[in-house]
Structure 1
Amino acid sequence: MNTPAVNSLEAKQLKLAQLITIGLLIALFFSAPAVNFFEALLVITVITSKFLRARLVESLRSPLCIAVLLFYGIIIFSATYSIAPPNITWGMVNGWRKILILPFAYAAIFSSPQKELLVKIFLITSAICLIWSFLSYLFPEKYFYTSSIGIVIKNHATQGIFFAIAIFLSLPTLAKNKSLLMKILSVTFIILLLLNITTITTGRSGYLATLVLILLFTLHKINRTSLTRKIIFLTLICAITTALFLSAQTSRERIKLGIQEFTQVKSEGDAGSMGVRYYWWTHSINMIKKNPLFGLGTGSFEEALNQEIKGLNGPAATKTNDPHNQYLKIAVEQGIIGLLVFLGIIFSAIKSTNVTPVYKLIGLSVLASWCATSLANSHFSTFHEGHFIWFWLGAMLSREEIYSPKNDQGSSQSIH
């Protein structure tokens, strides 16, 4: 691929694209309007840059991007026969547009140093949010930000998941760094993140994401050991992490409440967040049976549920536009075909090539945590979680190449 001169407009566009991805990543912690703004800037920059435009065209041939575009095509197609009102149907199509940021991030991020910088920016932003969270929790009259004290990243679920990712990204530094000071700082950072997740951030998604990511990091470290040792180590880590959550009062009560609500479902009164999920999931299975192959159409869940709960009372008649299970929601709206294509995205991500192993590990591990938490949520389609995962996958799993912009005399200058 032809490389531009160092001081050319093209080279400046590439630098601008990098700055935009940094701005977008930071915005994902705080502001939906800022996310939309930076995504629009990234799209414009990629399209107007000859180098990035060529990368975009090439990326659209990758299995991952093909699967993403195919899935979004199904979203649009299923809107044509949706039982939902047109404004809801096409509003949902518009909401799913977040998935299209993946190929643009894939095009804009083309080297390991860029990925390393994004990881560092994520950790720095997480550290700032961690400090702010504790200040908000301890001094709410001065540092209150969102609707809950101690929550500075959108909501409990988002904050818990983002802090879980920060723990995962900090573990390699702890494992590899020989500096005693850096080890102490890493341990302190991880302990404070865990303390925040277990005592302030009450979202159970954060607990699950933390467990999944720690287990995956452990599996990566012991990858060359025997199967028996793998089982022993993973069981031990799982037990230790679970014990950690059960030792803190806040996380223990949240876990206990969730289990109780789901295993002792109430037919009257308040069934709780997990109890009502039981009804939504049961209704979803019945709705899938009505059109298993193609579904009831994009955005149809709410209307289909309203038809399903007619004549019911109590928690079983609770209305929603989201069953809080990504896979069931896709199966209801886009059918088994849509769900298989969605799973194809995950499979394509796993099969990504020409990616530095550490960034493939980071990308796939975060994806695995999304897959796990989406069993009780729709984190691939909600705003902050959805925009983040599609951007993160595009950035971390993008095909890497050596890019050396030429100086004005024709020689090369490596960005590394």
Structure 2
Amino acid sequence: MPPLPQPRSGERLQTKGRPTEFSYWPTKRLRAHAKIQPKLFALAPWGTLTSAVSKIREATKMLEASACLKQAQDFYLVGTERNVEAARPLALYYCYMNLLKVYCLLRSDKQSFNDARHGIAEVSTGTFESTTLRAFRSPNQNKIQNFSEMMSVLTGSGLDGSHDYLLTHILPQILPGHRIWCEATNERERFISFESIQFWQNKSDRCVWLNLYVYADDLSRLSRTHSEFLSQSGLEGNFREVVCERANDGRRIICFEQVTPTTYPASHPADALLELVAGVRHDLWATVSSVPPYRRYYAYLTPDAELESRLPQLLSIYALTFQLGSVTRYRPQEYDKILEGKFGARIQDFVTGQPAQFLYLLSSEILQQDITQPSII
């Protein structure tokens, strides 16, 4: 094996003497230059979302987004009520669908989602394991398709035609409860946590880049090579492994350095951070917590045979919730069978533990700023 290249000359980016924290939205654009923005702390994000919706300039668009937000909150309350079980997936799906509309009304040029379609449907309804979901381009038959619209706002492009997703390929993409799926299927874990993600800069060249740090023993524990990590995570070509002498509590750390740095004008590296993050964020998964560091980031290692069903994190949650909501609505007796089957514990964990994660993750997308619960209440 050839020796690893040396890392690029530089230093960790700092803001006011402190390391600049990684975020999907590290900065906020002001008149002249971008400014590092802090996290928002809220016991619930609804009030902050209401404030954001109220700032929509078009009156009819604002009224629609406001109504969708109110419905989302009501469905969330039903879907997370302690004594609600049989109807929980359906209530959560309609919560997520209304939040999706708020997101798209705020962050796209769409003026209305009146008469919009789900944009996703069950193709086969045999066993839970054999279910295929089909998503449609938007518009389709002159109707807006919610699923593709959300994909477009999240990633910059929607579907260019109909696309099938196997439910068994979507299940392992859900981060919380992933190990329950591993036990049910006797599969290796596919999520690798990052020890940290850091912004680095070279002041003389006026450029910034990302370094991704992973514990070496996490890869060896799962029998993953370093090259497999890059190729199956979607990071190959964008990152390379470089020499790293870091360790944490005796655990060796591997560094993957961004291949192509991003230049910035004058003395304002913050101006380049959003562009820098945009190139990697859809290959990352995140969890939200109420204790520091408030976000943890992961890579998802996708087998080659399942690449066609790989989705951004929020869309995989949305797709699975749609399917469970459809079963609950049209074939409620089958939902009981699902809970009794080999994926029962996985689904139970998903419908009870995922709602708050989805709410805070999508709220952060809507606000374009990290929002999380405070650790002191």
Q: TM-score range by the shorter chain?
A: under 0.3
**Structure richer in strand, relative to its length:** 2
Report the TM-score, using the length of structure 2 for normalisation: 0.28
Q: Which structure has the larger Rg over C-alpha atoms?
A: 1
**Structure richer in helix, relative to its length:** 1
